[in-house]
């Protein structure tokens, strides 16, 4: 290859570089569509109307562990109870209209304001496949490393509340991290959630290991059992009287 031909070839490659760059950075819609396909597809999720999860809850820094149970029912009810030896039970639920929590430190609390808005969003049984419906603006912010994986980053802004960041594995398409801010009585917390160990359950992929950290604490939830389309009494989600 002569120098002149080589120069022309390199010039052509440089001219095509912007097009290659655009192809390597998919749109938010393309990233979400790949994610939905990676977890089994929207139709598979829409066949499910309830979910019961059981596993363990660990607080490594405090040397504490216990059990975890989660109950969810379409369209928008959920309930979680964590039992820690030497501390007691931590409960949180959403009835479809009311969000509440109960723990030995704070007692019973009914959520309002931004906390309520977040609870509403997270209680949507199909929120995994309704990201576009829950956020008014989605912006692709390039790629970042999550551990040893490269991930596309989407900045998602809701109608009310603080934006969140979603990290999708560039290879598998799976959601592997979610960053958010939560207002609490102790102040603003920056929450990082890692989603790992995806497994197929009834045709949909669900992360069996959840690692959450913030300025106050870090904990790990390891699921051992997930059941779909099982009866869940509505009384399970109702706020306790005391």
Within a domain: 16: no
The whole-model pTM stands at: 0.87
Tell me 125's DSSP state. T
**How many domains is the chain partitioned into structurally?**
1
Instruction: Inform me whether the pLDDT recorded for 152 exceeds 90.
Output: yes
Within a domain: 90: yes
In tens, the pLDDT along 187-221 reads 788 999 999 999 999 999 999 999 999 988 899 99
Segment 126-135 mean pLDDT: 96
* Assigned token pair, 180: 């958010």
pLDDT band at 114 (very low <50, low <70, confident <90, very high): confident
Instruction: Inform me whether the pLDDT recorded for 71 exceeds 60.
Output: yes
> Are 146 and 174 a contacting pair, CB within 8 Å?
no
Predicted local distance difference test score (pLDDT) of residue 161: 85
| Owner of token pair 């912007």 | 18
5-19, 108-122, 134-148, range with the lowest pLDDT: 5-19
> Are 156 and 147 a contacting pair, CB within 8 Å?
no
Supply the CATH number for residue 119's domain.
2.50.20.10
Report the distance separating Cα 135 and Cα 77, nearest Å. Answer: 20
Report the relative pairing of strands 164-169 and 64-73 from DSSP bridges: unpaired
In tens, the pLDDT along 35-69 reads 999 999 999 999 999 999 999 999 998 889 999 99
User: Residue 202 is part of which domain span?
Assistant: 26-237
């Amino acid at each position: 290859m002569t120098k002149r031909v080589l120069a022309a070839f390199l010039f052509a490659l440089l001219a095509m570089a912007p097009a290659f760059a655009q192809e390597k950075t998919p749109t938010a819609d393309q990233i979400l569509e790949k994610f939905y396909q990676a977890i089994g597809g929207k139709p598979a999720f829409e066949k499910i109307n309830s979910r019961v999860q059981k596993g363990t809850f660990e607080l490594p820094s405090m040397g504490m562990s216990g059990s975890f149970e989660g109950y969810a029912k379409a369209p928008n009810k959920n309930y979680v109870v964590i039992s820690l030896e030497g501390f007691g039970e931590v409960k949180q639920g959403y009835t479809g209209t009311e969000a509440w929590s109960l723990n030995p430190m704070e007692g019973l609390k009914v959520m309002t304001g931004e906390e309520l808005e977040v609870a509403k969003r997270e209680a949507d049984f199909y929120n995994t496949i309704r990201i576009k419906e829950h956020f008014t603006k989605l912006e692709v912010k390039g790629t970042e490393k999550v551990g040893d994986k490269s991930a596309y980053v989407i900045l998602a802004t809701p109608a009310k509340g603080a934006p969140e960041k979603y990290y999708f594995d560039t290879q598998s398409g799976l959601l592997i991290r979610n960053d958010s801010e939560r207002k609490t009585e102790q102040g603003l917390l920056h929450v990082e959630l890692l989603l790992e160990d995806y497994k197929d359950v009834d045709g949909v992929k669900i992360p069996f290991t959840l690692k959450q950290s913030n300025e106050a604490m870090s904990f790990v939830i390891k699921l051992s059992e997930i059941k779909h389309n099982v009866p869940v009494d509505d009384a399970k989600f109702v706020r306790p009287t005391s």
